[in-house]
Amino acid sequence: MRYSPLAPWMNDRATNWLATSDGWLRLLSMIKRTLENDARRFPHQVRAATAMVIMLCREGYWPAKMGQRERDEIVALAKRQLTVVRQAYAFEARSKPELLANADYKALLGGLDEELRMLDARMADAPVNMPDAPPACWGKFFQDNSR
């Protein structure tokens, strides 16, 4: 067995496995179809699909045969749709000022802003590497919270 000190998605064998996996390609297709929904009617689904884009659109994860252009397109689509979701929540807060006194609602708005910044970083001309850590508002994302 070959030893690789790199992150799992930086391994050529893992990248090849992902690029040829039918289940992986179906997942990416589902994410794209979800992002094509009306973001005002389905804000939670759009945000979940955007979270998947944030997690999966890093070097080595996105199948090579789909290419950089397709990856850039889905990141841009996620950004547009998440912006619509953020605007809808901001509009709701303006129409119901008491929402801004709610800590959870303020955390939601802050989380959306952080997710948008992560997508912006991915879309920059000289892209900043996407952080490996999830946005702060996702909590202890990689830990089991069922207990």
pLDDT (tens digit, 9 = 90+) per residue, 79-124?
999 999 999 999 999 999 899 899 999 999 999 999 999 888 877 6
Q: Is residue 131 part of a domain?
A: no
Give residue 111's domain range: 9-126
Residue 96's pLDDT is 93
Q: Is residue 51 part of a domain?
A: yes
Question: Where do runs of H (alpha helix) occur along the chain?
Answer: 12-20, 22-35, 43-56, 67-95, 103-123
Which structure tokens are listed for 90? 């901001």
Q: Is residue 55 part of a domain?
A: yes
Residue 13's pLDDT is 76
CA-to-CA dists, residue 131 to 18, 120, 126, angstroms: 21, 12, 15
Cβ–Cβ contacts within 10 Å for residue 22, how many? Answer: 7
Q: Is residue 144 part of a domain?
A: no
Cα–Cα dist 61/24, whole Å: 10
Could you give the number of structural domains in the chain?
A: 1
In the numeric block, the tokens 């605007």 are attached to 87
Q: Is residue 132 part of a domain?
A: no
Cβ–Cβ contacts within 10 Å for residue 74, how many? Answer: 21
DSSP reduced 3-state for 8: helix
- Segment 135-139 shows an average pLDDT of 64
Q: Is residue 134 part of a domain?
A: no
Residue 4's pLDDT is 57
What are the tens digits of pLDDT across the range 14-73? 777 777 777 877 888 899 999 999 999 999 999 999 999 988 876 656 655 566 778 888
Residue 30's pLDDT is 94
Q: Is residue 98 part of a domain?
A: yes
Q: Is residue 2 part of a domain?
A: no
Residue 18's pLDDT is 72
**Higher confidence at residue 6 or residue 32?**
32
